[in-house]
Amino acid sequence: MSTQFWIKDADGKFDGSLPEVPKKGYVAEASNNENVSVVSNVSKAQNVADVKKERDDRIISDERLVEILKALRKALRFSKQGDILRKFGIDPSLFTLEEITAMVEMFVQYRKMQMAMDLAKNKVKDPSVVDKYYHCRAHCIATRTGLGGIAASYPAGYAKEVADLFKNAFGRGTIKGGSVDDRIIASIKDSIGDLAANSKGRLGDPRISCNNVCEHLWPDSVSPEIRDEVDTAFGV
């Protein structure tokens, strides 16, 4: 069917000038299926881009996250409570500065883990093997912010495992294959390892860095250059 015979009416809509061409408010059928496919794919790509942009607008940027973390670390050196929390709209009576800092520290390590997994996707069979290292380091760093950090580390660690269990059960987590029962069992086994890594981080020798405490948990199958690249990208 021809797509070339169109006129634009005063109302701004197009109207076909031949009887067989669709009338106002419709887009004429393309002259072949390939054109239809191209138009459809372009439309889908635009929709995906719009959804991604909307999601990115909602999620805090890594640059902003680093700024917040640096501000919290600086405040932690000079103050234990108060004005710095109010700056972020947090009631100081709800959380201590150590707890807030610890939660942000853990969140940064989670973001690093996701970035490392993305970088390792084309290099190893299972990029999720890096997660134990980041679990360990997250809770090692968090507990070193003070008593509030230790207090925040435990519930945060268990909450993440519960959330992962539900995501894996519905096939939306890192464990996707098999039946629901298979995914739940695999998720529980993975959570046991994650919780052990959390504990390793919390109980690490405070005289050495968290990187060294957790070093043995970095898998041999993944180049340490990926870890260094992620650390450099964040700058913290």
Would 1 be classed as within a structural domain? no
Please give the residue range of the domain that contains residue 198.
60-234
Is residue 40 domain-shared with residue 143, that is, in the same domain? no
Average pLDDT estimate for 141-166: 91
- Predicted confidence at residue 2, as pLDDT, reads 44
201 has a pLDDT exceeding 80 = yes
Is residue 190 domain-shared with residue 209, that is, in the same domain? yes
> What is the C-alpha separation between 223 and 38, in angstroms, rounded?
40
Is residue 15 domain-shared with residue 88, that is, in the same domain? no
Q: What is the pTM of this model?
A: 0.69
> What is the C-alpha separation between 142 and 146, in angstroms, rounded?
8
Q: What are phi and psi of 8, to 5 degrees?
A: -105, 120
15 has a pLDDT exceeding 80 = no
- Predicted confidence at residue 48, as pLDDT, reads 53
Nearest one of 118, 96, 97, 116 to 108, comparing CA atoms: 116
- DSSP letters, the chain, are -----EEE-TTS-EEESSTTS--TTSPPPPSSHHHHHHHHHHHHHHHHHHHHHHHHHHSPPHHHHHHHHHHHHHHHHH-SSSHHHHHTT--TTT--HHHHHHHHHHHHHHHHHHHHHHHHTTTSS-GGGGHHHHHHHHHHHHHTT-HHHHHHHHHHHHHHHHHHHHHHHTT-SS--SS-HHHHHHHHHHHHHHHHHHHHHHHTS-TTS-HHHHHGGGS-TTS-HHHHHHHHHHH--
Would 212 be classed as within a structural domain? yes
Is residue 134 domain-shared with residue 226, that is, in the same domain? yes
What single-letter amino acid sits at 213? V
Entry field: residues in the chain = 236
Would 119 be classed as within a structural domain? yes
Is residue 39 domain-shared with residue 89, that is, in the same domain? no
Give long-range contacts, CB 8 A cutoff, 24+ apart: 10-14: none
Is residue 119 domain-shared with residue 149, that is, in the same domain? yes
Is residue 123 domain-shared with residue 182, that is, in the same domain? yes
Count: domains in the chain: 2
Provide the percentage of residues in the chain whose pLDDT is more than 90.
Answer: 44
Which tokens belong to 121?
């996707």
> What is the C-alpha separation between 130 and 222, in angstroms, rounded?
8
Is residue 93 domain-shared with residue 135, that is, in the same domain? yes
- Predicted confidence at residue 122, as pLDDT, reads 87
Task: Look over the chain and give the mean of its residue pLDDT values, rounded to a whole number.
Answer: 80
- Predicted confidence at residue 109, as pLDDT, reads 95
Average pLDDT estimate for 55-77: 79
- Predicted confidence at residue 176, as pLDDT, reads 82
- Predicted confidence at residue 204, as pLDDT, reads 92
Is residue 43 domain-shared with residue 123, that is, in the same domain? no
